[in-house]
Structure 1
Amino acid sequence: MKNINSKRALNRMFWTLLIGYALIVLVVAVFQRRLIYFPQRFSPAVAEQLASQNGFAPWRSRSGQIIGWKMAARGISRGSVLVTHGNAGCAAERSYLAKPIHDALTLDVYVLEYPGYGAREGSPGMKSFLAAGDEALAGLPKELPVYLVSESIGAGVVAHLAKTQPSRIKGLAMLVPYDDLASVGQASLPFLPVKLVMLDRFQPARWLEDFRGPAIVVLAGADEVVPMKYGRRLFDGYRGPKEIQIVPGAHHNEVAEQSPEWWKEVFTFWQQNVPRQN
């Protein structure tokens, strides 16, 4: 009798644990985008005020919608820099990324705002981010070279642009990037089947397989958000001209702000390795 009761108790425990685990997986699957995207939201007036305080002017699409913020080149522009920011905050606060580039180079700097961030309508997600990137690139002057700069999750957007429109892209700089977002998510929650349920499968390493433009990768040695090995995998697999910089002891949010002098060196590297036209 005791054996039967013990088996029943073990059975109940097994099914209780299994159902509990399944519920956890279900909750993570349903609310996964809330675990990935952390947008700051503002009214249009507040967003414009914040952007203006940070030295930005509105960047509008052909339809007149604000799709980001820009800093116009001082003098005759030599090209455009499109910046795709990380998964938190908003574009209007990315002056720490844009201003050093603007101060260093005679380039127009555009910081893309993602759908669902700042005052921009829409919802965060891979599909909306990639569509926003396509729209942004289409709106840049076609007679000027375009350089792409990404921060964290933004690596997925620039990699996709380099894959789909390689002839327009003359150089990349990826700050704390990753090779595959699902792999990063799986490492963060190793006890859950993240790769099975993940919806937004940004795959920079795969999308850059055929791109041969010059690329700079900057990694944080103590990155607590995107472990350094995932950015290293992206760099190691990249087949074009490339350079890597690892900042020892730096955390995820401590490498995006670089000096104007550093950006001058990046631009020199880009120019010395202009991709050949197919």
Structure 2
Amino acid sequence: MKLLHLAVGLVSAAALGYGAVCAGLYGFQRSLLYFPQPARMDVPSVRLPVPGADLQVSVRPVAGDKALLYFGGNAEDVSGSLPELASLFPEHSIFLMHYRGYGSSSGQPTEAALHSDAQALWDLASQSHSEITLMGRSLGSGIAMRLASQQASTQRLILVTPYDSIAEVAAAHFPWLPVRWLLKDRFDSAALAPELRVPTWVVSAENDEVIAAERTAALVQRFSPGVVRFTQISKAGHNDLQLQPAYPMAIGLAN
């Protein structure tokens, strides 16, 4: 009987501990998804007022109709990406959105807020540019995809290390937790893919330690035939694939 009571006690303690971990994940999940970064580079910026926040947008203006809207990773200072993007896209005006809480943007990031802010950035850029390319990296791929699904006039969509959904990525990292039930911000790109007709370039890193190549492949499989040009860069990781010689061609640019 004592052994039975001990076993019941241990099981109860384990269940309570597991429940506490799940509750902690639910309560603090956005601090695990978003890692706000300050703007470390002194680059030109404009302010973009949106409901509930005031956003910093790093910019590189160029005369003409072409513009690139860039949505970065969850721990990326997009001001640091401006020189590289300016080199890759010399004929495009470039707009890089600092998410809420990033750079000098105010507010707190949530999926709904970031999608709304992306639409506001489109509205800003489309005032002076009629040929808009959307580019999203890592977390930002889901934002770019949602915006492309809402803007049929998007010229091109570039997705770097994208995922099918954040829920699936989280489940791979925490297989012992019911993250698919707990997540608030799901960024379900796979649900959007079948309806997209925007010419799309998808780039995967073979050795991606953050978003497994399998998650990118699962997204690609959801697109209709002929929409996606897919490249997996061999031996590249999540944070260094842009340094590989194959990268410009992978995102639709000539070497």
Q: Could you state the TM-score of these two structures normalised by the residue count of structure 1?
A: 0.83
1:212 maps to: 197
1:21-32 equivalences under 5 Å are 21-32=18-29
**Residues 1:69 and 2:58 are matched in the alignment:** yes
- Call closer, same or farther: CA 1:243–1:264 in 2, change over 3 Å: closer
Identity %: 23
1:40 maps to: 37
2:16 maps to: 19
Q: Cα deviations across residues 29-83 of structure 1 (Å, max 9, x unaligned)?
A: 1111111111113xxxxx4xx443xxx31133378x553111122xx32411100
SS of corresponding position for 1:256: helix
**Contact map agreement 1:175 1:219 (CA 8 A) in 2:** yes
Rounded Cα–Cα distance in structure 1 between residues aligned with 2:34 and 2:219: 22
**Contact map agreement 1:68 1:91 (CA 8 A) in 2:** no
**Contact map agreement 1:100 1:258 (CA 8 A) in 2:** no
2:70 maps to: 83
SS of corresponding position for 1:185: helix
- Call closer, same or farther: CA 1:247–1:261 in 2, change over 3 Å: closer
**Contact map agreement 1:162 1:208 (CA 8 A) in 2:** no
**Residues 1:197 and 2:182 are matched in the alignment:** yes
**Contact map agreement 2:168 2:180 (CA 8 A) in 1:** yes
1:144 maps to: 130
Structure 1 segments unaligned to the other structure (5+ residues): 42-46, 269-278
| Alignment equivalent of 2:148, drawn from 162, 168, 172 | 162
**Residues 1:58 and 2:45 are matched in the alignment:** yes
**Letter matched to residue 169 of structure 2:** V
Moved more, 190-199 or 133-142: 133-142
| Alignment equivalent of 1:183, drawn from 168, 178, 190 | 168
1:240-255 equivalences under 5 Å are 240-255=226-241
CA RMSD of aligned residues (A): 2.2
Rounded Cα–Cα distance in structure 2 between residues aligned with 1:87 and 1:230: 17
SS of corresponding position for 1:253: coil
1:54-133 equivalences under 5 Å are 56-61=43-48, 66-73=55-62, 76-95=63-82, 97-103=84-90, 106-133=91-118
SS of corresponding position for 1:200: coil
Shift of 1:99: 2.4
**Contact map agreement 1:97 1:256 (CA 8 A) in 2:** no
**Contact map agreement 1:101 1:109 (CA 8 A) in 2:** no
Structure 2 segments unaligned to the other structure (5+ residues): none
Q: Could you state the TM-score of these two structures normalised by the residue count of structure 2?
A: 0.90
**Contact map agreement 2:71 2:136 (CA 8 A) in 1:** yes
- Whichever structure has more helix as a proportion of its residues is 1
Q: Cα deviations across residues 57-113 of structure 1 (Å, max 9, x unaligned)?
A: 1133378x553111122xx3241110000000322222354223333xx11111111
* Deviant stretches of 4+, over 4 Å: 257-261
SS of corresponding position for 1:169: coil
Moved more, 94-103 or 110-119: 94-103
- Call closer, same or farther: CA 1:169–1:88 in 2, change over 3 Å: same
- The size of the alignment, in residue pairs, is 249
Rounded Cα–Cα distance in structure 1 between residues aligned with 2:244 and 2:120: 27
Rounded Cα–Cα distance in structure 1 between residues aligned with 2:146 and 2:223: 14
Shift of 1:145: 1.1
**Letter matched to residue 145 of structure 1:** E
Indicate the structure (1 or 2) with the bigger Cα radius of gyration.
1
Shift of 1:207: 1.8
